Amino acid sequence: MIDIEAVMADFAVRQAERQMQVAEEIQQLKVAILPRLQDAGIARVEIRFDGCGDSGAVEECACLDAAGAGIPCPEVSLKEGEADSVDRTGSAEPQSLGQALEQLTYLALERHHPGWEINDGACGQLVIDVAEATFVLDCSLRFIATDDHSTEL
């Protein structure tokens, strides 16, 4: 017979461990990403995502200069050890800056809005202000609501 309390306790422990791991990975990526953006003259990054129907993806990563003009994301790699996480495919290859920005977005969503891709899903963006060194996740959660009324006459 399955001890459901033991299963749930084990699940809670593994979830807490994963949350700590994700928080550490986010911090590592933030530290590794900012200098690359500064060196490239990028003032702001807007990473848009959208999800629903049990699927979701980063849709666009826009890098902007101080005047707000779009500039290409530089083709630079993070050095080994800067972001010690391994991507979800299990590859230990160095990440490009673009891949690191995408991974940061997915990790932020996992940490702060788990299930963002399920059912009606969510959309939004992760905005990085390079000069201020701020990372803000804006997320709009979608849901279907009903407003039912029953009146006896």
Tell me the sheet residues that pair with 2.
none
User: Using 50, 70 and 90 to split pLDDT, how confident is the model at 78?
Assistant: confident
End-to-end alpha carbon distance in the chain:
54
Average pLDDT over residues 20-31: 96
| Structural domain boundaries in the chain | 4-141
pTM: 0.85
pLDDT above 50 (res 18):
yes
Q: What is the pLDDT of residues 110-123, one digit of tens each?
A: 999 999 999 999 99
How many other CB atoms are there within 10 angstroms of residue 44's CB atom? 17
The tokens describing 126, both together, are 């992760």
The reported pLDDT for the residue numbered 108 is: 98
DSSP 3-state assignment of 139?
strand
* Residue 89, CA distances (Å) to 32, 74, 92 in order: 21, 23, 9
How many other CB atoms are there within 10 angstroms of residue 76's CB atom? 17
Choice among 14-23, 81-90, 102-111, 132-141 with the minimum mean pLDDT: 81-90
> What is the pLDDT of the chain when averaged over all its residues?
91
Q: What is the chain's Cα-based Rg?
A: 19
Average pLDDT over residues 64-92: 75
pLDDT above 70 (res 91):
no
Q: What is the pLDDT of residues 31-64, one digit of tens each?
A: 999 999 999 999 999 999 999 999 999 999 999 9
Q: Hunting for tokens 């160095």 — which residue is that? A: 94
Closest to 36 in 3D by CA, of 146, 128, 142: 128
pLDDT above 50 (res 101):
yes
Question: Cβ distance 81 to 95 under 8 Å?
Answer: no
pLDDT above 80 (res 88):
no
Closest to 41 in 3D by CA, of 66, 16, 24: 66
